[in-house]
Amino acid sequence: MDRRTFLQTSGVGLSLAALNPGLFAAAQSQPLRVALIGCGWYGKADLLRLIQVAPVEVVSLCDVDRNMLADAADLVSQRQKSRKKPRTFHDYRELLKETKPEVVLIATPDHWHALTAIAAIESGADLYLQKPISVDVLEGQAILGAARKHGRVVQVGTQRRSTPHLIEARDRILKEGKLGTIGLVDIYCYYHMRTRENPPDTMPPDYLDYDLWTGPAPLRPYNSLVHPRSWRAFMEYGNGIVGDMCIHMLDMVRWMLDLGWPDRVSSSGGILVDKHSKSNISDTQIATFDFGKLPVVWNHRTYGHAPDPQYPWGATFYGDKGTLKCSVNGYDFIPLGQGNPIHKDVVYELEEFPEDKTEKDLEKHVAPAIRGHMRNLLAARESRGKPVADIEQGHISTASCILANLAMDLGRTLAWDAANNKVLNDDAANKRLSRPYRTPWVHPGI
């Protein structure tokens, strides 16, 4: 908005306020109309944090699981101020058409992010889109393009950027130069999070529309590992542990050090230990994201011990003046030579937000970060500026992780041409920047 438009718009607002201050105040205080697409574990966690920090009215919910949808509607009616039960929908397209929300939260499985996000953007809504934003690179480009074309604000759920103690670590340690010259950053996850179960395929339950749940992804035989929550066991629906956990730490490092796209991405690993589970994601993987003078190296193992039990999932910054370890639970600065170590634990807000104490499955240590992320989204909506985890940043972090999986699969380093959105001199890799969609769904980036 230029100065003249701002003054003209401000003048209209002031005139309206002068003519009818009561009407003007009422218009400004109307709660935001909010919808949630994907009513599982993290969708509810995101939505309930938004309810805690803003005057919103949840007008609609969507899920292909009838039981999950009904439970979410009951929960929201208990938690939102109006005590109204939101309208429920089986199909996100009907939700967008009939309820016209101003803000849409998307927490579907990853393979549904692109189509739901673009439809919500085109309907005129601003978004809170869970990470990773896409399963292939061209999906991410399509979401970014739609957001810019329609002028929508999109906040990606990489909430490390809104985690209070990590903001402090960035400002107090990194920006003040306490590490000196940083030569390497390790990022890692050693959680035993890859399923080892091997249940038989069955018919889907009658309360789940499995065909619509599958959507554009390949139609696998139904298995109880798929729904709810454990769909990440299969590459058909996501990008494995790299797409789930690496993206958080890679995005955090990029934000803390103001990094853009990596120049080159390499990766190795696979299913090296657990060869019996139905899961087809890697149990072991190393990936190097080369940012020119700085390598950022990812490592995950779903077995064995973490090298540092206090940091099973996190990032370690190595500088010539010290080391910084960061995780969702706190940070530690260890100076090299003289100087005082600095330790900070995650800040809980249980007294201010007592609902956190009893909410089922809530990651209590992450709740303050989600609230901060939601406040940042709302501020960006008011200014029509970019939120801290803008869709472009989410695309860079997501696509970088997708490239890591592709590099591992192809067995070679990929050089990324960010200006032209392609891998340099590698036709085979470029053909795999998009995945086939199952009929009748149409890939938005092709």
Residues contacting residue 22 through CB under 8 Å, at least 6 positions apart: none
User: Letter for the amino acid at 376?
Assistant: N
**Do the domain assignments include residue 204?**
no
Q: Rounded mean pLDDT of 18-24?
A: 43
* Claim to verify: residue 41 and residue 180 sit in the same structural domain: no
Question: How distant, in Å, are the alpha carbons of 29, 339, 353, 420 from that of 414?
Answer: 51, 41, 46, 14
Supply 172's token pair.
């107090």
pLDDT digits (tens, 9 = 90+) for 185-243: 999 999 999 998 889 999 999 999 999 999 999 999 999 999 988 999 999 999 999 99
**Do the domain assignments include residue 27?**
yes
* Claim to verify: residue 53 and residue 145 sit in the same structural domain: yes
**Do the domain assignments include residue 188?**
yes
* Claim to verify: residue 290 and residue 156 sit in the same structural domain: no
User: Letter for the amino acid at 94?
Assistant: E
- Residue given tokens 């029509």 in the structure block: 384
* Claim to verify: residue 172 and residue 282 sit in the same structural domain: yes
Domain of residue 135 covers 18-160
Helix (H) or strand (E) holding 376: helix 367-383
pLDDT digits (tens, 9 = 90+) for 127-172: 999 999 999 999 999 999 999 999 999 999 999 999 999 999 999 9
Determine the distance from the C-alpha atom of residue 68 to the mean position of all C-alpha atoms in its chain, rounded to a whole number.
21
In the structure, what pLDDT confidence band is assigned to residue 338 with cuts at 50, 70 and 90?
confident
Pairing of strands 87-89, 103-106: unpaired
What pLDDT score does 182 carry? 98
In the structure, what pLDDT confidence band is assigned to residue 379 with cuts at 50, 70 and 90?
very high
**Do the domain assignments include residue 257?**
yes
Q: Rounded mean pLDDT of 50-54?
A: 98
What pLDDT score does 197 carry? 86
Q: Rounded mean pLDDT of 413-420?
A: 97
Residue 206, φ and ψ in degrees, nearest 5 = -70, -15
pLDDT digits (tens, 9 = 90+) for 55-84: 999 999 999 999 999 999 999 999 999 999
Distance CA(197)–CA(366), nearest Å, equals 28
pLDDT digits (tens, 9 = 90+) for 268-319: 999 999 999 999 999 999 999 999 999 999 999 999 999 999 999 999 999 9
In the structure, what pLDDT confidence band is assigned to residue 440 with cuts at 50, 70 and 90?
very high
* Claim to verify: residue 315 and residue 189 sit in the same structural domain: yes
Q: What is the pTM of this model?
A: 0.93
Residue 24 has pLDDT above 70, yes or no: no
* Claim to verify: residue 152 and residue 173 sit in the same structural domain: no
Distance CA(66)–CA(57), nearest Å, equals 22
On the question of a cis peptide bond just before residue 444, with omega within 30 degrees of 0, the verdict is no
* Claim to verify: residue 173 and residue 102 sit in the same structural domain: no
What pLDDT score does 212 carry? 98
* Claim to verify: residue 154 and residue 50 sit in the same structural domain: yes
Residue 21 has pLDDT above 90, yes or no: no
* Claim to verify: residue 116 and residue 184 sit in the same structural domain: no
Q: Rounded mean pLDDT of 416-432?
A: 97
* Claim to verify: residue 40 and residue 132 sit in the same structural domain: yes
Residue (of 115, 160, 107) closest to 140 by Cα position? 115
Q: What is the mean pLDDT of the chain?
A: 93
Residues contacting residue 266 through CB under 8 Å, at least 6 positions apart: 287, 288, 290, 404, 407, 412, 413, 414
CATH for 171: 3.30.360.10
Residues contacting residue 101 through CB under 8 Å, at least 6 positions apart: 33, 34, 35, 59, 60, 95, 120, 123, 125
Number of domains in the chain: 2
* Claim to verify: residue 242 and residue 147 sit in the same structural domain: no
Alpha helices by DSSP H, listed for 223-362, are: 240-241, 247-257, 355-358
Residue (of 354, 339, 340, 345) closest to 325 by Cα position? 345
Strand runs labelled E in 38-125: 56-62, 87-89, 103-106
* Claim to verify: residue 150 and residue 255 sit in the same structural domain: no
Distance CA(11)–CA(392), nearest Å, equals 33
Beta bridge partners of 422: 417
What pLDDT score does 229 carry? 87
Residue 14 has pLDDT above 60, yes or no: no
Residues contacting residue 273 through CB under 8 Å, at least 6 positions apart: 283, 284, 302, 303
**Do the domain assignments include residue 364?**
no
Distance CA(426)–CA(420), nearest Å, equals 13
